[in-house]
Structure 1
Amino acid sequence: MSASCSSGQSGPSVDTHPCFSKDAHHKYARMHLAVAPACNIQCNYCNRKYDCANESRPGVVSELLTPQQAVEKVRAVKAKIPQLTVVGIAGPGDPLANPARTFETCERIAAEFPELQLCLSTNGLTLPQHVERIKALNVHHVTITINALDPEVGAKVYPWIFHNNRRIRGKKAAAILIRNQFKGLEMLVERGVLVKVNSVMIPGMNEDHLLEVNKVVSEKGAFLHNIMPLISAPEHGTYFGLMGQRNPEDGELEALRARCAGDVELMTHCRQCRADAVGMLGEDRNAEFTMDKIAPSAPFFAPAAKNIIPIQLSSSSVSERTPAANEEATHEPRRVKGAVTRRLAVTSKSGTHLDQHFGHAERFLVYDASPHGVTFVEERNAQQYCFGDDHCGDKESALSLALKTLTDCEAILCERIGFMPWQSLEQQGIQPINRFAGEAIENALMSYCAEQPEASASGVACVR
């Protein structure tokens, strides 16, 4: 999804912003920086994919970047695409669920490239608490995705949110999200920030309701309303795709847009871009600018703090460590007294960060963890069933092995996980966690433990 923030200009401008101006998208290029892996809500139409070059839709990226790597990438793109005017952060998770990474990226790019407009796209859950920072960074354009006004409708789109360190479901979750979305919208408009509202048209669910959404966002001062078609196919692994929710037909989308024509301008040139798209709207040149091409020696998850020690993957070398805080982490680890130690598993490609999709795992790394520290226990075999290119292996066999392998684990932390394995794990009392995506393993485990009540519901934790 396209988004925006502008630095180095005296006021909001759309003349050179291809997402906010239909004329500009023929002349100017944009790029999205995939620095924000974690998300704090679950949308039934979303399935974030990493290491994927074969899908063109929001939430999909080929690689995740650190803020430092993001600047290197901007430097490389700007040298070859002189029409570049906009740099956005739109995922693959939610930028404001990753505030440290997002704002550091904005600050670095604004300092080196003040002529570029920077943009942000958000679901709006934590937007009100970040509005002042956004304004202070001279962010002039923000996109908020708003799909409902009514919590009854919203609950059909969002199964849960993660808010104030707890997971909330159903209408209560939708009500909190909707309230914060509109509060954030009002606060941005009051401060002179141009706001684009994205809404996903879901046939049989919210198409009529979007008339009211359009009316209210117009009244509250949105600059642009972008009504987009649902992208839903079984191979994408989204809940709607797996449940057979159909996409809108072209005629249906155009009819809805015609019904919404009014005070707020409607965007009709959106291409529903990937979270790492590069180039003119409607094209994607990201493959030309992957980090292996522009900085071959730079690791994707290089620890920002020099005293972070990579985890040694050997069951014979079990050690207790209390890691230093990782500057890249979205959630800083918190230490509390008298805490419970929990048996937890993770999926990791690097062995240092949560950088692997559950379906790609060929091993699970198991730890005993508390807010005080982390002990590596052992490596356990897993069975990969997702191989990219829309090809899946024996998912049932892989899930069966995972359930047997993880019976003593309270939770498994991973970069992302599909709806069906999520549901299967929950049914067995194993909680899937993907909100720490991209973070250092030890920091994520300690933060997870700090969020939990003293007694474990699953009975697999022990007091030390």
Structure 2
Amino acid sequence: MSAPLIPISGLAVSNRQEMGKNLAKGGCSSSSCGSSAGPADMDPETWAKVKDHPCYSEEAHHYFARMHVAVSPACNIQCNYCNRKYDCANESRPGVVSERLTPEQAARKVLAVAAEVPQLSVLGIAGPGDAAYDWRKTKATFDLVSQRLPDIKLCLSSNGLALPDHIDEIVAMNIDHVTITINAIDPEIGAQIVPWIFYERKRRTGVEAATILRDRQLQALEMLHERGVLVKVNSVLIPGINDDHLIEVNKAVKARGAFLHNIMPLISDPAHGTHFGLTGQRGPTAAELKKVQDACAGGANLMRHCRQCRADAVGLLGEDRGQDFTLDKLPEEIEDAPEAREAYRAWVAEERKDRQAAAGLAEQAAAAAEAPTLFAVCTRGSGRINLHFGKATEFQIYEADADGISFVGHRRADNYCLGGYGDAERMDEIIKVLDDVPYVLCQMIGNGPRKRLADAGIEAIDSLGEEYIETAIASILQSRRAHRDQAAQGA
């Protein structure tokens, strides 16, 4: 039997959670848009850019939503892991959209989402082709949106080939977040990933294409960094091709000013119709991904909370409400509600203060961990354990060790509960996904799945619902340590 959990004093759930449950109904009078004090190693100007951006701040992804609009279908390169699909609602991966939009349709959709989703803080254009290559549509969309929603941050994603041609416009439009996908800096490796590019009115292949692409990508990174634009570099981890090489990519992009490096697993299901999927190239395991990420520690700062979003994703990271906002579902009349976003951001500012204080105590408690320990967390946001096990479609993975508690990634799995009943095959997959994780933290869990997890050596804990993730983990570690101490004394 598990030892009883020891609560950490002073960490009770705040009444402000009521606003978190009724996001648009809060009545905060503060005009604050978030905590004014960022991390000790980040200057205030940079913190102001990232504190409400869920992709550039791991902390912000607990609170803020993003949306992508699919206005740029044209692309100037072919990647072996990409198959752009339109009119597709069933796949969750980059390059897939339900409907392509004109800039005018996209702006209308953004207004509708902003009116309904007060967590919205970022508008991104990530395809389904390339936002820099299809620049006319990208720019027109941003111009329309910024006129109506000046508080929404703008960002774009690109393969980098056409990006150097638009740096001045990007800066003039106040686009201060750009993502570049760089999978290799060695052209021999790059040629295995990108079979061709279209550059200066000519299709180029092989090492020549990979060399041009690399040079343009690094040029764009340097130019954006020099102009004060934050750059996140995405890299797709492809086992046997660039897994070892990504350490060199990490060093190269850090040297040129990348703010974050996001190493993502290859998605290679044959059903997606990509070259890699059809030729049997496998994706990495969760352990292989973590190994490469850990090997890059000390280089460019790593992003570990990416969800590899669709090109029309809407909502918090880890959720997609895109199908709630298709063109046929948009209201005829759309009125913006900036006061709801202001109230929500004021609530987040206060919530951040609570969580920061709680996390400080938690770090102290966790520092005594005897060995690194992983925890899988069921959460729907706000940095709390607030989701039923059976409804979880992903698990956020945290690690506690002598240095404290840190987020190390997420693992996807289909939700166990379907229409009130558990699915045995899905439970088998969940156990496989969590094979190296000894604890699952959730708001509630039934006796059946609890026993299945226990039989697999995984303890499910649902007595800490609504607690902050870090403080719950610290409480568990304290309890286990106290239990061991009592056992030792009894011996």
**TM-score, normalization: structure 2?**
0.58
String of CA shifts for 1:423-454, please: whole Å, max 9, x gaps. Answer: xxxxxxxxxxxxxxxxxxxxxxxxxxxxxxxx
Superposition deviation, residue 76 in structure 1: 0.6
> What is the identity, as a one-letter code, of the residue corresponding to 2:317?
L
Task: Find runs of 4+ consecutive structure 1 residues off by over 4 angstroms.
Answer: 9-12
Q: Which residue of 1 aligns with 2:186?
A: 150
Q: Which residue of 2 aligns with 1:99?
A: 135
Superposition deviation, residue 166 in structure 1: 1.1
Q: Which residue of 2 aligns with 1:52?
A: 88
* Inter-partner Cα distance in structure 2 for 1:120 and 1:79: 22
Tell me if the contact between 2:230 and 2:258 (Cα under 8 Å) persists in the aligned partners: yes
> What is the identity, as a one-letter code, of the residue corresponding to 1:262?
G
Aligned pair partner of 2:245 in 209, 214, 223: 209
* Inter-partner Cα distance in structure 2 for 1:282 and 1:66: 26
- Establish whether residue 120 from structure 1 lines up as the match of residue 181 from structure 2: no
* Inter-partner Cα distance in structure 1 for 2:298 and 2:149: 37
* Inter-partner Cα distance in structure 2 for 1:19 and 1:139: 15
Within a 5 Å distance, the mapping from 1:209-358 to structure 2 comes to: 209-294=245-330
* Inter-partner Cα distance in structure 1 for 2:137 and 2:317: 25
Tell me if the contact between 2:133 and 2:163 (Cα under 8 Å) persists in the aligned partners: no
- Establish whether residue 17 from structure 1 lines up as the match of residue 53 from structure 2: yes
String of CA shifts for 1:349-393, please: whole Å, max 9, x gaps. Answer: xxxxxxxxxxxxxxxxxxxxxxxxxxxxxxxxxxxxxxxxxxxxx
Q: Which residue of 1 aligns with 2:387?
A: none
- Establish whether residue 73 from structure 1 lines up as the match of residue 73 from structure 2: no
- Establish whether residue 26 from structure 1 lines up as the match of residue 62 from structure 2: yes
Structure 1 segments unaligned to the other structure (5+ residues): 1-8, 298-464
Within a 5 Å distance, the mapping from 1:306-455 to structure 2 comes to: none
* Inter-partner Cα distance in structure 1 for 2:143 and 2:298: 37
Superposition deviation, residue 253 in structure 1: 0.5
- Decide whether aligned partners of structure 1 residues 88 and 60 sit closer, same or farther in structure 2, where only a CA change above 3 A counts: same
Higher radius of gyration, 1 or 2: 2
* Inter-partner Cα distance in structure 1 for 2:231 and 2:288: 25
> What is the identity, as a one-letter code, of the residue corresponding to 1:156?
Q
Tell me if the contact between 2:53 and 2:61 (Cα under 8 Å) persists in the aligned partners: yes
Aligned pair partner of 1:86 in 108, 118, 122: 122
- Decide whether aligned partners of structure 1 residues 63 and 281 sit closer, same or farther in structure 2, where only a CA change above 3 A counts: same
String of CA shifts for 1:38-68, please: whole Å, max 9, x gaps. Answer: 1000000000000000000000000001110
* Inter-partner Cα distance in structure 1 for 2:293 and 2:161: 26
* Inter-partner Cα distance in structure 2 for 1:58 and 1:295: 27
- Establish whether residue 40 from structure 1 lines up as the match of residue 76 from structure 2: yes
* Inter-partner Cα distance in structure 1 for 2:268 and 2:238: 10
Q: Which residue of 2 aligns with 1:187?
A: 223
* Inter-partner Cα distance in structure 2 for 1:98 and 1:247: 29
Q: Which residue of 2 aligns with 1:64?
A: 100
String of CA shifts for 1:255-312, please: whole Å, max 9, x gaps. Answer: 0000001142100000000000000000000111000111689xxxxxxxxxxxxxxx
Secondary structure, in 3 states, of the residue corresponding to 2:191? helix
* Inter-partner Cα distance in structure 2 for 1:295 and 1:83: 20
Tell me if the contact between 2:262 and 2:302 (Cα under 8 Å) persists in the aligned partners: yes
Question: Percentage identity across aligned positions?
Answer: 62
Secondary structure, in 3 states, of the residue corresponding to 2:169? helix
**TM-score, normalization: structure 1?**
0.61
> What is the identity, as a one-letter code, of the residue corresponding to 2:149?
F
* Inter-partner Cα distance in structure 2 for 1:253 and 1:288: 32
Q: CA RMSD in A?
A: 1.5
String of CA shifts for 1:107-157, please: whole Å, max 9, x gaps. Answer: 111111110001100000011111111111111010000000011000000
Q: Which residue of 1 aligns with 2:197?
A: 161
* Inter-partner Cα distance in structure 1 for 2:121 and 2:331: 23
Superposition deviation, residue 20 in structure 1: 0.3
* Inter-partner Cα distance in structure 2 for 1:136 and 1:16: 21
Count of aligned residue pairs for this structure pair: 289
Secondary structure, in 3 states, of the residue corresponding to 1:97? coil
Secondary structure, in 3 states, of the residue corresponding to 1:49? coil
Aligned pair partner of 2:145 in 109, 117, 121: 109
* Inter-partner Cα distance in structure 2 for 1:199 and 1:42: 15
Tell me if the contact between 2:250 and 2:296 (Cα under 8 Å) persists in the aligned partners: yes
Q: Which residue of 1 aligns with 2:396?
A: none
Q: Which has the higher helix share?
A: 2
* Inter-partner Cα distance in structure 2 for 1:104 and 1:267: 30
- Decide whether aligned partners of structure 1 residues 36 and 274 sit closer, same or farther in structure 2, where only a CA change above 3 A counts: same
Secondary structure, in 3 states, of the residue corresponding to 2:132? helix
String of CA shifts for 1:62-111, please: whole Å, max 9, x gaps. Answer: 00011101110011101110110000000100001111000011111111
* Inter-partner Cα distance in structure 2 for 1:97 and 1:87: 18
* Inter-partner Cα distance in structure 2 for 1:270 and 1:194: 17
String of CA shifts for 1:391-416, please: whole Å, max 9, x gaps. Answer: xxxxxxxxxxxxxxxxxxxxxxxxxx
Structure 2 segments unaligned to the other structure (5+ residues): 1-43, 334-491
Q: Which residue of 2 aligns with 1:389?
A: none
Secondary structure, in 3 states, of the residue corresponding to 2:250? helix
* Inter-partner Cα distance in structure 1 for 2:239 and 2:331: 44
String of CA shifts for 1:11-41, please: whole Å, max 9, x gaps. Answer: 7610000000001011011000000001000
* Inter-partner Cα distance in structure 2 for 1:159 and 1:34: 24
Superposition deviation, residue 233 in structure 1: 1.1
Q: Which residue of 2 aligns with 1:177?
A: 213
* Inter-partner Cα distance in structure 2 for 1:38 and 1:150: 26
